Structure 1
Amino acid sequence: MTHDPHGWTALVLAGQRPGVDPVAAHFGLEAKALMPVAGELMLGRVLMALADTPQVARIIVLAQNTLKLKAHPDLAWAVEEPRITFQVSGPTISGSVLAAVNDPAIGLPVLVTTADNVMLTPATLAEFIAGAGSSDVSVAMVERARLEAAVGPNRRTWLTFKGGAYTGANLFALTAPAARNALTFWERVEQDRKSVLRLASHFGPVLMAKLLLRRMTVHEALAAAGTKLGASAAPVLLSDGRMGVDVDKVEDHALAERLLTARN
């Protein structure tokens, strides 16, 4: 497989948020990224999907403890792979991504994903990259009906707009310098990410009212949010409903195992 040498840089967020991660703790592990799912490390699955995607020129794993990740025998292949490097991340996710984007050796365009995005495949990455062309920031999302058709009813953080409910797919594209404005904003609001109300409050009362009353489609809402951020923003709606599943809870791990076993 030939890779585009001028292609995308993928940043894989493989660090730990402050405090104990409930999923890692359940399995007696310190690092969530090193948790196996259906016989493969979560981080290994994500790195393999990226390494098998021709549009991805290089992959940077960001984590607080890169030595622990690199020492794992199941990641020996990744340590040997010339396109994959491991970098120590900063204290916040957005700050770490911003530092990478501002590094002249990295620059743009950049894909951002997470070590627990275990349903990721080269086909989904190609679909997302194809859809991420026209805006500064692209956000991968999965429609609720599509996810439930693929995996059954599911507890997720659902964002409800005019025309449907959506969940994020832990996949972002930053393609233009204005994307830095979005990262700077995200650094300010990151702690509110799980509360739709608190997150919406950062965008001002008019946009918040329209969101609460479901007056906007997902495309209109992201476009309006982007205007506030000083960057154009658009969703890329993924066709694989399983992409709405990441491993945030113990029951997510069981679901991911079931889906991956079925796929294999």
Structure 2
Amino acid sequence: MNDASPGWTALVLAGQRPGIDRLAAHFSREAKALIPVAGTPMLARVLRALADTPEIARIVVLAQDAPALLADAALAWTATDPRIAPRVSGHTISGSVLDVIDDPTIGLPVLVTTADNVMLAPATISEFIAGIGAGDVSVALVERSRLETAVGPNRRTWLTFRGGAYTGANLFALTGAGAVNALRFWERVEADRKSVLRLAAHFGPVLMVRLLLRSMNVHEALAAAGAKLGAIVAPVLLSDGRMGVDVDKPEDHALAERLLAERG
């Protein structure tokens, strides 16, 4: 699918796992999504970027306390935008996204991002949508050299394939029926998302060995992984290296503030 016309639903994952979120506690906030970065809550930055993107027709904020998040004073402007609505999430991220897709008033295509994706900009969202092919799932990635050119050496979870290393940009497109298979698979392996080796192990020994030997490029690797779970999966490589930065730790927060100040 390569759809540059209006009509996309953007789904913003703004919840947090049970217990105290360490980053939120560090900044004396109850919700991570409301931590200010350069003076503006992270969620507000992401929503503004989506609202200013012509291809986006609707924005759903998905969190355990989604209505309370949008009631924050810094997000009062969202009440005047009929495209933005809260939705209470379920027990898992994948299950909650599946519920959105199953909603007959929403369905596909759906663009998924996170509340801590503070470097998101309308131009990047449009670039991502323009790069989506005819498959089921598209994954935004940033190549390591692009990120390090933009922000300097940075500790990230790197996926290394033949020809390069990549990190995720917290931006996905669900466009075909196979996306349901991908979400159901992710629901089973979500706990291993931060470990490349444990995640790869879910795809079977042959694919794992090929990944470890780096015998596939990024397009081949995602296609092979998608075939294992019944979906056509492809990467979209973003041009803005800063899109590899999200805010999970205090040092990420400091970096994001510096980058936003430089961007103006």
TM (normalized to structure 2)?
0.97
Q: Deviations over 1:80-137 (max 9, x none)?
A: 2100000000111111101101111110000000000000000000000001132210
Does 2:140 match 1:148? no
What is the CA–CA distance in structure 2 between the aligned matches of 1:49 and 1:107, rounded to whole Å? 22
Mapping for residues 90-239 of structure 1, pairs under 5 Å = 90-239=90-239
Question: Which residue of structure 2 aligns with residue 61 of structure 1?
Answer: 61
SS of equivalent to 1:173: strand
What is the CA–CA distance in structure 2 between the aligned matches of 1:214 and 1:79, rounded to whole Å? 48
Native 8 Å contact 1:92 1:187 kept in 2: yes
Q: Deviations over 1:1-29 (max 9, x none)?
A: xxx98510000000012232221111011
Question: Which residue of structure 2 aligns with residue 24 of structure 1?
Answer: 24
Native 8 Å contact 1:95 1:187 kept in 2: yes
Question: Which residue of structure 2 aligns with residue 15 of structure 1?
Answer: 15
What is the CA–CA distance in structure 1 between the aligned matches of 2:26 and 2:118, rounded to whole Å? 18
Letter in 1 for 2:86: F
Native 8 Å contact 1:5 1:57 kept in 2: no
What is the CA–CA distance in structure 1 between the aligned matches of 2:5 and 2:224, rounded to whole Å? 35
Over the matched positions of the two proteins, sequence identity in percent amounts to 75
1:68 Cα deviation after fit: 2.2
How many residues matched? 261
What is the CA–CA distance in structure 2 between the aligned matches of 1:112 and 1:70, rounded to whole Å? 18
SS of equivalent to 1:60: strand
1:138 Cα deviation after fit: 0.2
What is the CA–CA distance in structure 2 between the aligned matches of 1:106 and 1:135, rounded to whole Å? 19
What is the CA–CA distance in structure 1 between the aligned matches of 2:204 and 2:195, rounded to whole Å? 15
Question: Which residue of structure 1 aligns with residue 73 of structure 2?
Answer: 73
Letter in 2 for 1:103: D
Native 8 Å contact 2:12 2:112 kept in 1: yes
What is the CA–CA distance in structure 2 between the aligned matches of 1:62 and 1:80, rounded to whole Å? 18
1:30 Cα deviation after fit: 1.0
SS of equivalent to 1:94: helix
| Alignment RMSD (CA, Å) | 1.1
SS of equivalent to 1:194: coil
What is the CA–CA distance in structure 2 between the aligned matches of 1:60 and 1:106, rounded to whole Å? 10
What is the CA–CA distance in structure 2 between the aligned matches of 1:93 and 1:47, rounded to whole Å? 19
SS of equivalent to 1:96: helix
Question: Which residue of structure 2 aligns with residue 86 of structure 1?
Answer: 86
| Runs (5+) with no aligned partner, structure 2 | none
What is the CA–CA distance in structure 1 between the aligned matches of 2:5 and 2:128, rounded to whole Å? 19
1:70 Cα deviation after fit: 2.2
Moved more, 147-156 or 15-24: 15-24
| Runs (5+) with no aligned partner, structure 1 | none
Native 8 Å contact 2:67 2:87 kept in 1: no
SS of equivalent to 1:149: helix
Q: Deviations over 1:215-247 (max 9, x none)?
A: 110110000000001010000000000000000
SS of equivalent to 2:176: coil
Native 8 Å contact 1:49 1:122 kept in 2: yes
Native 8 Å contact 2:6 2:54 kept in 1: no
The 4+ residue runs of structure 1 with deviation greater than 3 A are none
